[in-house]
Copies of this chain bind each other. A is one copy, B any other.
């Protein structure tokens, strides 16, 4: 039996952080009811550039497909009394609720923690906000890139002396989602022992700070304000991308032994110089070493270079584009790519990032089209056909 079998998740989330969190709960067997505005649904459904019409779930974007498998979609107009009444019935029976509305919005809708927990004291209630629920910026709008900037992450990403650069994927959003998952599992552990639910809070601000924790620590201890260094870092040399005949590869010579193996593997005569033999020496001669090494790495293909260095026990890796990364045989070999059938086609998706030996994920189902599961969900919660008709007439479903 799956870990979360029999658990009901009332999912009010949209876009990235929240859907990433609830998808993981769905992967481990929870019944995730995604409550969406019946007019347009989750904003992420329409993200994307090209023609999505052939995509599953009614032409959903790749982002939506990536983060909403194993869920059911219930279309509810939360601005209507009838829609809110349906959502309230679901919340009264839910084991977990997750939302990422701005602070204050969910209370105005009538689904605040105090109201719901009074009726359902076992509820684990997870709030994901931009800047947290208190403080001067509580009401400010936020997204991943805003928090990459606010947290200082952007200031250390980019070319030395160049413009600030985005970390290419939504790392703050997705780290926030995983933090929410950890907090929800922690609260479920507490509930298993005590029968009591609780509020779980996280925010993009908290997740961004967590990703920056060791830089803040250095600032607090020493006043250090680091700067972007391209692909390099300040600590060790070499520790960055080098050009190859057909792209680029990472080479790490973090300690003296690894550097010596690297130098002897690639070109001992050119590289094994006394001034490069210590960490401090390599740092002091960074520019010359990187230039010298680049001249040598350019002679090799990326794959050949990485294979040579790997054989010599030097940490190395190819800088790969998204296509090659998605097709990586190693990623498939460790079961991180799941293939499944949905809507008559084969879909691939990235499996959860942790694996439990005794509690595997459920077999994947594709993401839901907007409001696709409204009627079955209503019947599951005890609504008779005439009640459903009355709710529809009252505008519950938009």
Residues of chain A having any CB pair with chain B under 8 Å: 3, 20, 24, 28, 47-50, 55, 62-63, 65-67, 131-137, 140-143, 145-159, 162-171, 174-176, 178-183, 185-190, 192-193, 196, 198-203, 205-207, 209-226, 228-235, 239-241, 248-250, 252, 254, 310, 313-326, 328-331, 333-334, 336, 347-359
Q: Judge whether B326 and A135 touch: CB under 8 Å.
A: no
The chain B residue sitting closest to A310, CB to CB, is: B140
Q: Given A145-B250, A168-B167, A216-B326 in contact, is the A317-B205 Cβ separation under 8 Å?
A: no
30 residue pairs from A and B, CB less than 8 Å apart: A63-B217, A132-B334, A143-B252, A146-B250, A149-B241, A150-B320, A152-B322, A152-B324, A152-B325, A152-B326, A154-B168, A154-B231, A154-B319, A155-B321, A157-B157, A159-B162, A163-B230, A163-B231, A164-B241, A166-B229, A169-B212, A169-B215, A175-B353, A178-B179, A182-B354, A185-B185, A192-B192, A192-B193, A198-B359, A217-B348
Complexed CA–CA distance, A241 and B182 (Å): 32
Q: Judge whether B336 and A220 touch: CB under 8 Å.
A: no
The chain B residue sitting closest to A351, CB to CB, is: B206
Smallest beta-carbon distance A154→chain B, Å? 5
Q: Judge whether B169 and A159 touch: CB under 8 Å.
A: no
Q: Which residues of B contact A224 (CB under 8 A)?
A: 50, 62, 322
